[in-house]
A and B are shown apart, each in its own frame.
Chain A
Amino acid sequence: MKIAVCVKQVPDSWAEKKMNGQVLDRAGVDAVLNDLDEYAVESALQIVEANSPTKEAGEGSGHTITLISMGPERATEAIRKGLSMGADDAIHICDDALAGSDALATSLVLSEVIKAGGFDLILCGTESTDARMSVIPAMLAQRLGYAQLTFAGSISVDPASSQVKVARTTEVGIENMEAKFPVVVSVVEKINEPRYPSFKGIMAAKKKVISTKSLGDIGLGADSVGAKAAWSTVKDALLRPARTAGVKVEDGGDGGTKLVDFLAEKRVI
């Protein structure tokens, strides 16, 4: 079984983010592996462990986990995190022409890499914590013509029959869904608890191969990606005046009543 996990390097979600002109200022903040992608990496590891004779991922498992990431040079830091968790290798699409790409271009680039790799199972987080569009997994399924099993709250994979079953978990409830390889899956947070990389994992990750590819390497021209090819344009980005603190009262035994008086004054009740 060949598994691909799409991962993205994002600004630390605990940091204050701001715009630099029309795009997110990525230079000024710490960059990390997208929190939500860690669940996808963990899910890949658990699927391999469940189907490995050694009960471990890596060599001898009979399966491979390849991380795929599009991003600037420093995205290798986030990729190493995924490798130290236990993924086998990585493909990093890195090209100056990619700067300012929209989700459509990003999904185009990822889909070309996935198509060339011939993966059975493509795992993603549900969204990145920076752009928060939550569209890439669905776009990949559309572009590749693969089955879409997204928002998985649980997943089971049977490599022998190529069958994937998920519990699609959204605000409307749970839909139990299934499809055969190749399948695009996104996983929600409740699916697992991502492991911390072990010391052994961190050391091993240093020797794992990250193959860096340019746009030309994956057969795409510079005119199909980047800011100029984006099909949506940011006109302006304005800092909103910060919310200011309102009234703060100490509860002297009547805090609840005062709260309700405030709501009545604001005509909420």
Chain B
Amino acid sequence: MSALILVDSVDGKVSKSSGELASFAKRIGEVTAIVFDAALVSQLSAYQIDKVITVKDLTGAATVAEMSEAISQIVAAKSPKALLITSSAKGKEIAARVAVATNSGIITDAIDVDSNLITTQSVFGGGTTVHAAVNHGCAVITFRSNSVEVIAGSGTPSSEEFTPTLSPAAKLATITSVEPAVKGGRPELTEASIVVSGGRGTNGDFKPVEALADALGAAVGASRAATDAGWYPHSHQVGQTGKTVSPQLYVAAGISGAIQHRAGMQTSKLIVAVNKDPEAPIFELADFGVVGDLFNVLPQATSAIAAKK
């Protein structure tokens, strides 16, 4: 037993970030995937996974406390070198509880790991690169999405089942109802390979931002100024107090680029900015900047992309 990964799903499909976890885990050794939804198992041969453990009696919709207890029991039984989890809200909380329950060290928001379990993190808005390692127990590490290529698998993993024994403490909180996020057909912000964000410069009109996002197959983000003004939902906020994204392409429209915003997008591979103010700090980190009105530039870009298709 070398590395465990926790597989999660988006709309009934194994998430891209789960595939990334498999790529990282393969560097450490044999890869065992923990799955809470049996329906996902047949999809796992597409990834670098050697074994699958299907958890009985719970689903991926279970609470953090329930899933953490089941995973902690698997860690105790299998003594893996590492447990790799996606850096989602739920993923980080599960990592936190498993670390406590199994007397293990924890590292969050890694963007890389080597075969010696040395992780790389990008902190302070991408300004500093930190190398770190867990020195006690199973290395519990959460990874940001879009950190590594998904490597295709080469065969069907072997399969076993695990039935957890849940304590009363795991069942103290109950979920009474669920309202799934309205997707609107766009990819999830932290998983998207392209993000188009709008800020104060939109004056509350996100239509050109959404149109460009749809032309690019991108997720829509927003600056804190835009979410605080009520122009776009808080769940789309990119920045120090919102989501951290690291897509292949980040388009900032009408966003000045304050430190707080930069902290959430600075590690994007390619940054494009559109802003009326030539002095906007966002231009300091943009690979390509257009000084102009987003209400002219964005629609023109949207049509130009449509014309190329």
Contact = CB atoms under 8 A, between A and B. Distances in A.
Interface of A: 13-19, 35-36, 102-104, 107, 126, 129, 132-139, 141-143, 145-151, 168-180, 183, 188-190, 230-240, 242-243, 245-251, 253-260, 262-264, 266, 268-269
Interface in B176-209: 176-181, 188-190, 194
B132 interface: yes
B179 A172 contact: no
10 closest Cβ contacts across the A-B interface?
Answer: A251-B292, A256-B300, A231-B105, A135-B96, A147-B172, A256-B301, A231-B136, A246-B287, A138-B93, A173-B181
A107 B105 CA distance: 13
A141 B97 contact: yes
Contacts of B109: 132-133
A171 B235 contact: yes
Given A134-B89, A259-B272, A240 B135 contact: no
Contact of A255 (B106, B132, B235, B300): B300
B104 A188 contact: no
Given A172-B180, A231-B105, A237-B129, A256 B304 contact: yes
B130 A148 contact: no
B173 A233 contact: no
Given A104-B99, A148-B63, A150-B93, A255 B292 contact: yes
B133 interface: yes
Contacts of B174: 177-179
Contact of A18 (B63, B124, B173): B124
Contacts of A135: 92-93, 95-96, 99, 106, 108
Contacts of A260: 301, 304-305, 308
Given A17-B124, A174-B179, A246 B101 contact: no
Contacts of B289: 245-249
Contacts of B305: 260, 263, 269
A129 B244 CA distance: 12
Interface string B284-309: 11111111110011111111110010
B105 A104 contact: yes
B260 interface: yes
Contacts of B181: 171-174
B128 A19 contact: yes
Interface of chain B, main secondary structure: mixed
Interface in B65-87: 65, 68
Contacts of B130: 19, 234, 236-238
Interface string B199-234: 000000000000000001000000000000000001
B92 A13 contact: no
Interface in B111-164: 118, 122-124, 126-137
Contacts of B128: 17-19, 237-240
B308 A269 contact: yes
Which of A139, A175, A180 has its CB near the most chain B CB atoms (within 10 A)?
Answer: A175
Interface in B255-293: 258-260, 266, 270-272, 274, 278, 283-293
B173 A177 contact: yes
A243 B266 contact: yes
A129 B266 CA distance: 16
Which of A102, A107, A176, A260 has its CB near the most chain B CB atoms (within 10 A)?
Answer: A260
A138 B176 CA distance: 20
Contact of B118 (A235, A247, A256): A235
B97 A142 contact: yes
Which of B109, B132, B194, B288 has its CB near the most chain A CB atoms (within 10 A)?
Answer: B288
B58 interface: no
B56 interface: no
Given A240-B126, A250-B291, A133 B92 contact: yes
Contact of B137 (A126, A129, A132, A231): A231
Contact of B272 (A178, A243, A262): A262
Given A14-B259, A256-B297, A231 B63 contact: no
